[in-house]
Structure 1
Amino acid sequence: MEMDSSCTLNYLSVVPLASVVIGRFVFPIVFVVGVIGNMLILLALKAAAVTTKTSYFLIAMAVADLCFFFCVLPNHMISFPALTKLHSFIVFYIQSKMPLTALANWFSVASIWLAIAVTFERLLAIRKPLHAKLFFKKWHLISLITFIYVASFVSVSYIFFWLTPTEITVNRCNKTQTLLMLKPINETVHPMVHQYVSVSLKVAPHLTCTVPLILLIVLNSLLLHYLRQGRKMSQMVANVNPSRIMELRVTLIVVSIIGTFLICQTPSGVLYVWESMQMNATNSSRPDWFYTAVAVSNILVICGKAINFAVYCVSSSNFRSKIKRLFTVSKFSKAHSLMYNLKNYTNTTMTQVDSESEMMLSTRRSKDSYTMTKYELQKLNLTKANANNYATTTKFELAAK
Structure 2
Amino acid sequence: MENTSSVTSNITHIEGSLPDYVQRTMFVCDHVLIPIICMLGIVGNGLSLCVLTRREMAAATTCFLTALAVSDLLLLILQIPFFFELNGAIAGSFSFKRFIRMYAVIRYVMNNVFITCTGWLTVAVTIERFISLRFMFHPKLVCTIFRARLAIIGIFIASFIFHFSKFFEYIPNQNLHSPRPLLITELIKTPEYETYLHIANIALAAIIPVFLLIIANSFLMYFLATHRRRMLRHKASSTSNMTSVDMLHVSAIVVATVLVFILCHSVGVFLALTIASRGREFVFKRPPYLALKHINTLLIMINSSVNFLLYCAISCKFRKTFIIVFIGQLIRRDNCTSAIPLSENSTANTGTIPRTPKGRIYTPSPKAAIANGSSQNGHNVARTEV
Please give the TM-score of this superposition, normalised by the length of structure 2: 0.74
1:342 corresponding residue in structure 2? none
1:319 corresponding residue in structure 2? 318
Deviation at 1:304, TM superposition (A): 1.4
Residues 1:333 and 1:218: Cα distance change in structure 2 (over 3 Å): closer
- Indicate conservation of the 8 Å contact 2:271/2:293, yes or no: yes
Which ranges in structure 1 are unaligned for 5 or more consecutive residues? Answer: 1-10, 170-176, 335-401
1:345 corresponding residue in structure 2? none
- Indicate conservation of the 8 Å contact 1:167/1:179, yes or no: no
2:268 corresponding residue in structure 1? 268
- Indicate conservation of the 8 Å contact 1:271/1:294, yes or no: yes
Find 2:97's aligned residue among 62, 87, 90: 90
Deviations 1:89-145 (A, max 9, x none): 222121211211111110110011011110000000000014455552333222111
2:114 corresponding residue in structure 1? 107
- Indicate conservation of the 8 Å contact 1:65/1:107, yes or no: yes
1:238 match: secondary structure = coil
Find 2:161's aligned residue among 130, 154, 160: 154
Q: Distance in 2 between matches of 1:292 and 1:284?
A: 10
- Indicate conservation of the 8 Å contact 2:51/2:318, yes or no: yes
2:60 is the alignment partner of 1:53: yes
Identity in percent:
23
Count residues in correspondence: 317
1:78 match: secondary structure = helix
Q: Distance in 2 between matches of 1:124 and 1:131?
A: 9
1:298 corresponding residue in structure 2? 297
2:336 corresponding residue in structure 1? none
Q: Distance in 2 between matches of 1:99 and 1:26?
A: 23
2:35 is the alignment partner of 1:28: yes
Q: Distance in 1 between matches of 2:67 and 2:221?
A: 23
> Which letter does structure 1 place at the counterpart of 2:254?
V
Deviation at 1:301, TM superposition (A): 1.1
Deviations 1:331-375 (A, max 9, x none): 7899xxxxxxxxxxxxxxxxxxxxxxxxxxxxxxxxxxxxxxxxx
> Which letter does structure 1 place at the counterpart of 2:305?
A
1:49 match: secondary structure = helix
Q: Which has more radius of gyration?
A: 1
**Relative contact order, higher structure (CA 8 A, sep 6+):** 2
- Indicate conservation of the 8 Å contact 2:275/2:283, yes or no: no
> Which letter does structure 1 place at the counterpart of 2:216?
L
Which ranges in structure 2 are unaligned for 5 or more consecutive residues? Answer: 1-9, 334-386
Q: Distance in 1 between matches of 2:27 and 2:93?
A: 17
Q: Distance in 2 between matches of 1:284 and 1:322?
A: 46
Instruction: Name segments (4+ residues, structure 1) moved above 6 Å.
Output: 331-334
> Which letter does structure 2 place at the counterpart of 1:317?
C
Structure 1, 12-21 or 262-271: larger mean CA deviation: 12-21
2:65 is the alignment partner of 1:65: no
> Which letter does structure 2 place at the counterpart of 1:160?
F
Q: Distance in 2 between matches of 1:120 and 1:12?
A: 40
- Indicate conservation of the 8 Å contact 1:61/1:111, yes or no: yes
Residues 1:248 and 1:317: Cα distance change in structure 2 (over 3 Å): same
